Amino acid sequence: MPQFWAPIGPRAPHIAGSAGSAVKPLVTYFAFDTVDHNILLWRLETSFGIGGTVLEWLKSFLTGRTQAVAFRGVTSGYCPLLCGVPQGSVLGPLLFVLYTADVAALAGRHAVCVHAYADDTQLYVSCPSADGQTSAAKLLHCVDEIRQWMSANRLKLNVDKTQFMWLGPSHQLEAVSRVQPVVNGVSASL
């Protein structure tokens, strides 16, 4: 299960103060393994202006890789990898963040804040307890749009490991309407 985080910095007094906060961690299935090379290279060129020799270096870093499975002393034949970024590399998490940069833009359109590192993403909103129902609905609508974007970009939201959490002082949390979050027809845990 993903770990929840406490906001630190300029937003912390607002989030930890009189307002409650809803936090929604997003978990993807095999995120690094499903990055589409063609989409990534296109996005690097069109969204981030990477071209020429640097784009060719990145293309050679991603393509021409193979993998095999070894089990009980027997190794399968090697198969080409048509998607995915190398895990354990310095570039892997960075390329994944660039691949998923649109998630922050989607969240911004819903006035939802994002905290992300590689494939670990949390969405959150801060609100007075009286606005809990409205803020939860806004957050869930944002999550659904991100789920659709992920599907269109060959990623999958792992609803079973996605959690919804309210943060705030106990007297404020008691006043928040409890909302059973549903993502893609599946109830997320509270």
DSSP 119-165: TEEEEEEEE-GGGHHHHHHHHHHHHHHHHHHHHHTT--B-GGG-B-E
CB burial of residue 29 (10 Å; 0-12, 13-18, 19+): middle
Q: How far apart are CA 99 and CA 85, in angstroms?
A: 10
Note the pLDDT of residue 58.
95
Q: How far apart are CA 117 and CA 97, in angstroms?
A: 7
Residue 77, amino acid: G
DSSP assignment, residue 189?
A: B
Please give the distance of CA 174 from its chain centroid, rounded to a whole number. 29
Note the pLDDT of residue 105.
92
Q: What is the mean pLDDT for each group of 10 consecutive residues in the chain (190 residues)?
A: 30 42 53 89 96 96 90 94 85 90 92 81 80 80 89 84 76 64 57
Note the pLDDT of residue 25.
53
H or E stretch including 24? strand 20-27
Note the pLDDT of residue 183.
57
Residue in this structure with the two tokens 């997320």, named with its chain if needed: 188
Residue whose C-alpha is closest to residue 131's, from 177, 85, 92: 177
**pTM for the model:** 0.73
Note the pLDDT of residue 152.
93
Note the pLDDT of residue 30.
52
